[in-house]
Amino acid sequence: MKIEDIKLRIIADSKGKDTLEAEMESGGIRVVASVPAGESTGKNEAKVIAPRAALEKVSWLTTQLKDHDFAELSQFDGLLNTLDGTLDKSNLGANLILSLSLCFTKLLANISGLQTWELISRISGQKPSLPLCLFNVIEGGVHIPHHSVQDSAPNLPFQEYWFIPQTHSPREALDRCLALLKVLEKKIAAEYGKVQMGAEGGFTVPSKNAEDGLKILKEVMEELGEEANLGLDVAASTFFKDGKYILGEKVMDANGLLSYYRLLTTNPSTALGAGYQLFSIEDPFAETDWTGFTNITKELGSNIWIVGDDLTTTNPAMIKKAKELNAVNSVIIKTTQIGTVSETIQAANLAKNYGWKIIVANRGEETMDNFIADLAVGIGADGLKSGCPLQKERLVKYERLIEIEGTWQN
Catalytic residues, by residue number, are 200, 334
Least gap, CB of 210 to ligand PGA (angstroms): 16
Q: Which of the listed partners (ligand PGA, Zn ion, none) does 363 bind, with a CB threshold of 5 to 8 Å by partner kind?
A: ligand PGA
* CA 162/CA 132 separation, integer angstroms: 12
> Which of 13, 84, 211, 233 lies at the binding interface for Zn ion (CB under 5 A)?
233
Least gap, CB of 309 to Zn ion (angstroms): 4
Q: Rule CB under 5 A: say whether 309 interacts with Zn ion.
A: yes
Q: Which of the listed partners (ligand PGA, Zn ion, none) does 13 bind, with a CB threshold of 5 to 8 Å by partner kind?
A: none
Nearest partner of 312 among 92, 41, 91, judged by Cα? 41
5 is in an annotated binding site: no
Nearer to ligand PGA, 104 or 287 (CB): 287
How many chain residues touch Zn ion (CB under 5 A)?
Answer: 2
Binding site for ligand PGA (CB under 6 A): 38-41, 159, 233, 235, 309, 361, 363-364
Query: Which residues are CB-contacts of 59 (< 8 A; sequence separation ≥ 6)?
Result: none
* CA 249/CA 279 separation, integer angstroms: 26
Nearest partner of 279 among 183, 382, 378, judged by Cα? 382
Contact 202, 159 (CB under 8 A): no
Mask for 257-276, x = binds Zn ion (CB under 5 A): --------------------
Q: Which of the listed partners (ligand PGA, Zn ion, none) does 266 bind, with a CB threshold of 5 to 8 Å by partner kind?
A: none
Nearer to ligand PGA, 38 or 202 (CB): 38
Nearer to ligand PGA, 100 or 311 (CB): 311
Nearer to ligand PGA, 323 or 363 (CB): 363
39 is in an annotated binding site: no
